[in-house]
Structure 1
Amino acid sequence: MAASKRDKIKMSPEEVAEYLAANFKVQVATVGKDGEPHLVTMFYTLYEGKIAFTTYKSSQKVVNLRRNPVMTCLVEDGVEYGELRGVALYGRGLVVEDPGPRSKVGMVVGSRMAGLPVPKLGEPVDPVIAEGIEQALAKRVLILMDPERVVSWDHRKV
């Protein structure tokens, strides 16, 4: 039986990991109190292979995740149909208050948001910059995407 178009454009697990590592913007959907999707775009990095970002403790997405941890993330790119690529992750958004991982992710994401050179996860950051980012992180939590299902596509494959 011939492979379906869907099978032909699906990324391998290695391609998914490489694609997620090469990108930094993710569309995040959580479930609002009335069941409607709450959708935002966030800067992210990977932490232990998972999409990770920081956000204010009182943000709507955190309120939603504390009520219902269901979360969907979409990383996509391409302009023309034949260039479209993306990864959709369906699962749970974990709210992490531990300052250690929050700081590691915050240094990467905070540097990117400030237009500064972006360090690799865990690399040292200029102490003055690190102090400013840590001050900003005091009001934030870390969100980790714990995927249960991953769907991918890369139209460049056909």
Structure 2
Amino acid sequence: MPSRRELIRMTPEEVRAYLLSQRRIILVTNGPDGMPHPVPMNYGLDDESRILITSFRKAQKVTNLERDPRATLLVESGETYAELKSVIAYADAEIVTDPDQIAAGMARINADAQLSGSISGAMSEQVRASIAKRVLLRFTPFRTVSWDHGKLGTFY
């Protein structure tokens, strides 16, 4: 009989579908004092299931990743125990400074309609100016942990 852990683990396809259905992720970098530095961010995925986040170049999270490119990312949902669903990705970060790649990454981020509408072919001057100050953070997971308590049905 499979363990409960095995029963609730998501397949890679389920992980991708879940990550595509969510909007917010908690990005945890290693701060200058060794303490975790967690921040909530909007995110997206590329075709290779790498996690994409944009940030201002001078942000603490970017400074942390320049010093140590390892990060942990968490997406979670559910109000009751039976609804709990989560993915933790342990990842290596890449800091991308190319403006075209930043704009392409911004277009993939799950955001509200107003923000995602501004990252179109006719993007506003404000967005164009913002890209010059931004980086694209691209995270390649090397280990993923997931669970979906809904897979247990009514048996906890």
TM-score under structure 2 normalisation?
Answer: 0.88
Aligned to 2:26: 27
Structure 1 unmatched ranges of 5 or more: none
Task: Report the AA paired with residue 4 of structure 1.
Answer: S
Task: Report the AA paired with residue 146 of structure 1.
Answer: T
**Aligned in 2, Cα 1:98/1:126: closer, same or farther, shift over 3 Å?**
closer
Which secondary structure state, in structure 1, belongs to the residue aligned with residue 95 of structure 2? strand
**Residue deviations 1:18-39 (CA, integer Å, cap 9, x gap):** 1111111100000011210000
Which secondary structure state, in structure 1, belongs to the residue aligned with residue 114 of structure 2? coil
Task: Report the AA paired with residue 125 of structure 2.
Answer: E
C-alpha deviation, 1:131, in angstroms = 3.5
Structure 2 unmatched ranges of 5 or more: none
Q: 4+ residue stretches of structure 1 with deviation over 4 A? A: none
Task: Report the AA paired with residue 125 of structure 1.
Answer: S
Q: Distance in 2 between matches of 1:3 and 1:107?
A: 41
- Whether the 8 Å contact between 2:93 and 2:138 is mirrored in structure 1 is yes
C-alpha deviation, 1:107, in angstroms = 3.4
Aligned to 1:147: 141
Aligned to 1:137: 131
Aligned to 2:38: 39
Written as runs of structure 1 = structure 2, the 5 A alignment for 1:5-154 is 5-48=4-47, 49-109=49-109, 112=111, 115-116=113-114, 118=116, 125=120, 127=122, 129-154=123-148
Which region of structure 1 is more displaced relative to structure 2, 98-107 or 31-40?
Answer: 98-107
Aligned to 1:157: 151
Percent identical: 37
Q: Distance in 1 between matches of 2:115 and 2:66?
A: 33
TM-score under structure 1 normalisation?
Answer: 0.87
- Whether the 8 Å contact between 2:45 and 2:108 is mirrored in structure 1 is no
Task: Report the AA paired with residue 99 of structure 2.
Answer: P
Task: Report the AA paired with residue 104 of structure 2.
Answer: K
- Whether the 8 Å contact between 1:38 and 1:61 is mirrored in structure 2 is yes
Q: Distance in 2 between matches of 1:117 and 1:140?
A: 15
Q: Distance in 2 between matches of 1:73 and 1:29?
A: 6
**Residue deviations 1:91-134 (CA, integer Å, cap 9, x gap):** 2121111212210122344x835x41746xxxx8261x343322
